């Protein structure tokens, strides 16, 4: 007993506070409870919303939407375009995007507003491609009012895969590439201010955990699964967005927020716990369609009160950025997302991984040029 007392008395605060390596079991249970609760009650909570969601006048809006050839992204791009916005479909498959535009033009032939849609290629599995896309857009010296980082992957049941840049694929597509795109497009977003960065996130972040010393989940400390890769990448996105929101002064006119589309009809059941798999058998009633899932992003992109809400959170020094739930109401992300220390660690590690200097945002705000490690001519 004496030895134990002596040992503990010599411990420093740093020694006592062991670095967190995973979610506690109570946090894990709370996360899954929240996920199941949302699955069962999201339709009731969102019953006040129209489908499709009516949008305010947006004829002067220019929006870039990543991953807009299928699912939620397709619905976001289509509804923005049919409401009069200038939509840039940032996609890997440009042929599929062009075919969609032709279809939308036929469907919209009776509308008084002509569609203003264009296609630009970007591959989020290549950070070189992301840099080239941003450079091409910024070269226009045109304003950008809304960037919607919608593209994402959830490779159900697949073994761990890495991009050619050396990063786990969920991490790169769901977090690193959108982070790089958001920062590099800041000059255009400032030119178009008041403007918004809308990150399509997921309720799955509630069961995510980010180890900033092992963001690739390759050290062996945690067993990789597609669920681990996906949920962790979505949590990292919220954490990074929260610090980006703090780094952007109110006078920049750029709002940063994350949205949850709800649980949208997709084939994810194979990688989920048995309780959630059972709930998925009730898909026809409980699970949202892509059109319903698009509503929170459309709300975040167009509602006139969103910038005021974001500014209020920033003025109050709220630990996380604005988060809009599937019912288009402000919500709180997970308890883990509120960790300011971890969020700053995610911020620093992300900038390192995407090849940007630590003061990239400040330099861009000052109108200076920022060089990225990627996208350079070989």
DSSP codes joined into one string, 2-38: HHHHHHHHT--HHHHSPPP-S--HHHHHHHHHHHHHH
Q: How many CA atoms lie within 13 A of 214 on its CB side?
A: 16
Q: Which of 151, 155, 153 is closest to 270 using CA atoms?
A: 155
Structural domain spans, the chain: 25-366
Distance CA 234, CA 337 (A): 10
Q: Give the H/E segment covering residue 42.
A: helix 25-45
| pLDDT, tens only, 86-117 | 999 999 999 999 999 999 998 887 777 789 99
My answer on whether omega of the bond before 94 falls inside 30° of 0, hence cis, is: no
- The tokens of 49 are what? 């919303």
Q: Which residues contact 87 (CB under 8 A, 6 or more apart)?
A: 63, 65, 68, 77, 80, 81, 116, 117, 118
- pLDDT at site 156: 81
Query: Superfamily for 25-366?
Result: NAD(P)-binding Rossmann-like Domain (3.40.50.720)
Q: Is the pLDDT of residue 371 over 90?
A: yes
My answer on whether omega of the bond before 267 falls inside 30° of 0, hence cis, is: no
- pLDDT at site 4: 36
Q: Is the pLDDT of residue 59 over 60?
A: yes
- So which residues are the catalytic ones? 230
* CA distances, 224 to each of 32, 150, 153, 154 (Å): 18, 24, 15, 13
Distance CA 297, CA 80 (A): 11
Q: What is the mean pLDDT of residues 164-188?
A: 98
121 or 157: whose pLDDT is higher?
Answer: 121
- pLDDT at site 287: 86
The whole model's pTM is what? 0.91
- For 335, other C-beta atoms within 10 Å of its C-beta total 12
């Amino acid at each position: 007993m004496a030895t134990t007392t002596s040992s503990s008395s010599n411990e420093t605060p740093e020694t006592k506070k062991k670095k967190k390596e995973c979610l506690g079991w109570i946090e894990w249970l709370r996360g899954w409870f929240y996920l199941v609760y949302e699955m069962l009650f999201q339709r009731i909570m969102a019953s006040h919303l129209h489908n499709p969601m009516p949008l305010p006048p947006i004829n002067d809006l220019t929006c870039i939407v990543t991953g807009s050839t299928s699912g939620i992204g397709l619905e976001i791009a289509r509804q923005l375009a049919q409401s009069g916005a200038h939509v840039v479909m940032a996609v890997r498959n440009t042929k599929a995007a062009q075919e969609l535009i032709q279809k939308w033009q036929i469907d919209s032939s009776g509308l008084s507003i002509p569609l203003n849609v264009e296609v630009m290629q970007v591959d989020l599995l290549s950070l070189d491609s992301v840099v080239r896309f941003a450079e091409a857009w910024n070269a226009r010296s045109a304003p950008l009012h809304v960037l919607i980082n919608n593209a994402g992957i959830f490779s159900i049941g697949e073994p761990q895969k890495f991009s050619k840049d050396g990063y786990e694929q969920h991490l790169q597509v769901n977090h690193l590439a959108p982070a790089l795109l958001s920062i590099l497009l800041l000059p255009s977003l400032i030119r178009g201010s008041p403007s918004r960065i809308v990150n399509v996130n997921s309720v799955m972040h509630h069961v995510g955990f980010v180890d900033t010393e092992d963001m690739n989940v390759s050290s062996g400390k945690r067993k990789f699964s597609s669920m681990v890769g996906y949920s962790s990448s979505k949590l990292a996105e919220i954490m990074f967005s929260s610090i980006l929101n703090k780094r952007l002064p109110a006078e920049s006119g750029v709002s940063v927020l994350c949205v949850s589309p709800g649980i949208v009809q997709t084939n994810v059941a194979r990688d989920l716990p048995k309780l959630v798999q059972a709930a998925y058998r009730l898909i026809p009633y409980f699970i949202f369609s892509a059109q319903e899932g698009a509503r929170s992003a459309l709300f975040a992109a167009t509602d006139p009160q969103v910038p005021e809400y974001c500014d209020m959170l920033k003025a109050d020094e709220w630990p996380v950025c604005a988060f809009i739930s599937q019912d288009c109401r402000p919500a709180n992300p997970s308890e883990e997302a509120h960790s300011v220390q971890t969020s700053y660690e995610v911020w620093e590690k992300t900038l390192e991984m995407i090849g940007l200097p630590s003061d990239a945002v400040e330099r861009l705000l000052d109108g200076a040029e920022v060089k990225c490690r990627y996208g350079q001519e070989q």
